[in-house]
């Protein structure tokens, strides 16, 4: 299944049914007595979280959602049936935005959490509702009100404790596959990872955390180059950022600076998250790379092939998440 993390849809709630004017035939009752029923309410459009979903794929091919209108009222005080609601299931981490109002309506994260994205119109009142001591045979009625109509933007941002930040081929997928049961695609070419991969990392007997291997950055990612903004929207969810730099880079310190700047240009607030730096592929490097970072940051030389430094790194990540 293809990973889809951004879609636009139109939602149209049902109109309310009309109330009607009707009279029943009864002796000694003026004009037979008012008996017009109320119209039913229109159906709502509801977004609800389903933890079994991990993509917006299904929604991509169904761009317009329309709920049923309420039925009109009938005689003999029969009220119209309300329209059926339409429920759209979305994965955890879905942000719902009203495009026309430029307003975020909800940030849906927990299984079962829901929002009424478009509310159905109210049913109109029949003439029986207008009876008063001085108005025994009303002919007034109300039409149902229209349902809400909205253009929505759905954006999925993965939920993870630790997000891996690095250039293509920095070793993110290999690290995730080594310390979790995730099976990301691994190959020796850029952009092996095209979609986020999540893995559960165990730390001790009773502790674990979720790590996200997200498509690699390139310079200019904040402007949308490469897989830039696709990557960066998912980083926003992570409480800890683990930067990965290849020990074999010509200038590992410069690589880290470029990664830092891409994050900063996209969202300076992200740099307030806890950050660690891992120097990867130490199994293929002789000695220790010279790192002169422009800021204090804990550095962990690791090898996902030999296992060097992985236990220490996992412990430090666990600590950073809990602090």
Residue-wise pLDDT for 219-231, tens only, equals 544 444 434 455 5
Measure the CA–CA gap between 268 and 260, rounded to whole angstroms: 10
Q: Which domain holds residue 35?
A: 6-156
Please identify, among 156, 179, 200, the residue that sits at the C-terminal boundary of a domain: 156
pLDDT (mean) for 154-161? 82
At residue 119, does pLDDT exceed 70? yes
* CATH code of the domain covering residue 275: 3.40.50.300
Do 151 and 275 reside in the same domain of the chain? Answer: no
Question: Domains in the chain: how many in total?
Answer: 2
Residue of higher predicted confidence among 127 and 173:
127
Please identify, among 94, 129, 156, the residue that sits at the C-terminal boundary of a domain: 156
Tell me if the pTM is above 0.75: no
Provide φ and ψ at 250, rounded to 5°: -60, -40
Do 150 and 272 reside in the same domain of the chain? Answer: no
Q: Calculate the average pLDDT of the chain.
A: 85
* CATH code of the domain covering residue 31: 2.70.210.12
At residue 24, does pLDDT exceed 50? yes
At residue 158, does pLDDT exceed 50? yes
pLDDT (mean) for 161-189? 76
Does 1 fall in a domain?
no
Task: Break the chain down into helix, strand, coil percent, rounded to 5.
Answer: 20, 25, 55
Does 176 fall in a domain?
yes
Element of type H or E holding 156: strand 149-156
Least confident span in 79-83, 184-188, 306-310: 184-188
**How many other C-beta atoms can be found within 10 angstroms of the C-beta atom of residue 30?**
10
Do 136 and 56 reside in the same domain of the chain? Answer: yes
Measure the CA–CA gap between 75 and 117, rounded to whole angstroms: 33
Please identify, among 140, 156, 172, the residue that sits at the C-terminal boundary of a domain: 156
Cα within 13 Å of Cα(14), Cβ side: 24
């Amino acid at each position: 299944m293809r990973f889809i993390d951004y879609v636009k849809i139109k939602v149209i709630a049902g109109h309310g049914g009309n109330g009607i004017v009707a009279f029943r035939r009864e002796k000694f009752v003026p004009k037979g007595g008012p008996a017009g029923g109320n119209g039913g309410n229109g159906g709502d459009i509801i977004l609800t979280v389903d933890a079994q979903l991990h993509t917006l794929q299904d929604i991509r091919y169904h761009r317009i959602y329309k709920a049923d209108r309420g039925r009109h009222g009938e005689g003999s005080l029969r009220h119209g049936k309300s329209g059926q609601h339409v429920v759209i299931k979305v994965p955890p981490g879905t942000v719902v935005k009203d495009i026309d109002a430029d307003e975020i309506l909800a940030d849906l994260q927990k299984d079962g959490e829901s929002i009424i994205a478009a509310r159905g119109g109210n049913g109109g009142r029949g003439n029986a509702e207008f009876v008063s001591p001085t108005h025994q045979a009303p002919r007034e009625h109300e039409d149902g009100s229209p349902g809400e109509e909205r253009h929505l933007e759905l954006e999925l941002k993965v939920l993870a404790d630790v997000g891996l930040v690095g250039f293509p081929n920095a070793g993110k997928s290999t690290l995730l596959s080594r310390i979790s049961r995730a099976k990301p695609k691994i190959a020796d070419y850029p952009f092996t990872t095209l979609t986020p991969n999540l893995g559960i990392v165990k730390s001790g007997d009773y502790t674990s955390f979720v790590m996200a291997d997200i498509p690699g950055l390139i310079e200019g990612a904040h402007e949308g180059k490469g897989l830039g903004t696709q990557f960066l929207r998912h980083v926003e969810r992570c409480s800890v950022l683990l930067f990965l730099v290849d020990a074999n880079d010509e200038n590992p310190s410069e690589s880290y600076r470029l990664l830092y700047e891409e994050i900063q240009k996209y969202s300076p607030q992200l740099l307030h998250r806890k950050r660690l730096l891992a120097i990867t592929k130490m199994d293929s490097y002789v000695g220790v790379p010279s790192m002169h970072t422009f800021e204090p940051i804990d550095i962990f030389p690791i090898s996902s092939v030999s296992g060097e430094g992985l236990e220490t790194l996992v412990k430090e990540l666990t600590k950073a998440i809990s602090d």
